[in-house]
Structure formats: C-alpha cells, structure tokens
C-alpha cells in the first residue's frame, strides 16, 4: 500500500515537472508578437496533454472507470495500473510481439496503442482467454508441445496464435511461420509453437 502511495506521489511529481518544463519550453520559444490570450490558450492545451482524462474501458468483459493521461500506452495501463501483468513488455517499440492483446477481436501491439483511444472497444488479454479453470485450447497445446522455455514471449505468442487461426493463416506450417513472424522468441521455441498452433487449427476447436 505504501509502495503504491509513493508511486502515486512520484507520478504526481513527475507530472508536475513535465507540465512546468513544457510550459517553460513553450514560453522560451513564444514570439513576442503572440497575444496574451493566444499564449494562455496554448499553455492550456499543453497542460491538458498531461492531464488525466476520464475513460471507461472494457477489459476481459469487465468495465473499468479510469483516469488516464493521454500519453499512457495500453501496455503500461494493463501492467502498471490494473496489474494485468500477463501481457509482457519486451522491446516497448513494436518489434517483438510480447505485448500482443486483442482489441475488438483483432491482434494489436499494446505498446504502440494509447489506452485512452480504446474506449468503446473490447480488450482481451491473456488473462481473459480461459475461464479460470479450463485453459484455452491453444494454452493446452502449448503445454502439450513444449511451446515455451522461459515463457516470457508466451502470452504474446498465444494471443497472436489465436488470431493466426481465426484469420485463416494457420493452414500450413509456412503460413504459420509467416503470420507469426512478428512474435520473437529468444529461447527459439519456434518449431514447437508452430506445432501447437497447427494442432489446434486441425482440431477444429473454437478459438
Ligand atoms: Fe510491444 Fe515488443 S513490447 S512489440
Ligand atoms: Fe523464452 Fe520465448 S520461451 S522467449
């Protein structure tokens, strides 16, 4: 609890710093001919950029009423604010696929998605694909085929693998490799990941 409070204080301090430093920068570049009114309007817009906004998001069929700064990514919101840490941060630059989630049924990289823009959409994370007792068929297949070693890339691989099957791109092993190429596995578990996806596709089970 104390850690959370300290974290909140730290974030507030950081927010204030960002606000002030942006305003200072803005002031330093403001031409003298700009009117006072226009300047205060500009300051307001800069300040708003760092202000938390109210937003309601639906994540794993649960509604969350939140206050989010516009710059916060969906990945950081999931992991740091909602503690849905199944979604992993690998590169944070759209290069590794570890952060893959579904938005309205489509796979997206949550590190490249702003949380505030997801209002009105259904977000599904790795925590939302099983009902808590019964694993998703692709989770079972990953276990059966040893589709992981350290497991860090696995949530992203599974979310992408589900999409790969739904999109009709899991008909052949070559197709699977092609349409899973955005998901990097540093342990090199690729051949078993492909087998797991292929098996579920062939089984005809609903994903
Ligand atoms: Fe998002 Fe690597 S963390 S693609
Ligand atoms: Fe270790 Fe994929 S299982 S990175």
pLDDT tens digit sequence for 176-203: 999 999 999 999 999 999 999 999 999 9
- Residues with CB under 6 Å of ligand 2 are 148-154, 185-187, 189
**Which residue, 172, 167, 132, 138, is CA-closest to 155?**
138
Q: State which fold the 134-207 domain adopts.
A: DNA polymerase; domain 1 (1.10.150)
Q: Is the pTM of this model over 0.85?
A: no
pLDDT tens digit sequence for 137-157: 999 999 999 999 999 999 999
Q: Rounded to an integer, what distance in angstroms lies between the CA atom of residue 24 and that of residue 10? A: 21
Q: Ligand 2 pocket: which of 158, 189, 196 to mutate (most atoms <8 Å of CB)?
A: 189
Which ligand has the minimum distance to the alpha carbon of residue 75?
Answer: 1
Q: What DSSP letter does each residue of 24-60 carry, written as one string?
A: HHHHHH--TTS-HHHHHHHHHHHHHHHS-EEEEEEET
Q: Ligand 1 pocket: which of 77, 88, 92 to mutate (most atoms <8 Å of CB)?
A: 92
Phi then psi dihedrals of residue 122, to 5 deg? -100, 120
């Amino acid at each position: 609890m104390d850690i959370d409070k300290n974290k909140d204080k730290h974030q507030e301090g950081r927010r204030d710093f960002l606000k002030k430093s942006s305003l200072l920068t803005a002031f330093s570049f403001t031409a003298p001919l700009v009117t006072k009114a226009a300047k205060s309007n500009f300051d307001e817009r800069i300040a708003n950029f760092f202000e938390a906004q109210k937003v309601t998001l639906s994540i794993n069929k649960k509604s969350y009423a939140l206050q989010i700064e516009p710059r916060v990514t969906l990945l950081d919101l999931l992991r740091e604010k909602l503690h849905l840490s199944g979604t992993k941060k690998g590169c944070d630059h759209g290069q590794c696929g570890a952060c893959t989630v579904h938005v309205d049924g489509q796979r997206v990289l949550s590190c490249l998605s702003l949380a505030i823009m997801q209002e009105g959409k259904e977000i599904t994370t790795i925590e939302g694909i099983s009902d808590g007792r019964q694993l998703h068929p692709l989770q079972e297949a990953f276990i059966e085929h040893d589709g992981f070693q350290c497991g860090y890339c696995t949530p992203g691989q599974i979310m992408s693998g589900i999409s790969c099957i739904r999109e009709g791109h899991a008909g052949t092993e070559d197709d699977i490799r092609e349409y899973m190429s955005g998901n990097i596995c540093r342990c090199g578990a690729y051949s078993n990941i492909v087998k797991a996806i292929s098996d579920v596709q062939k089984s005809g089970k609903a994903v």
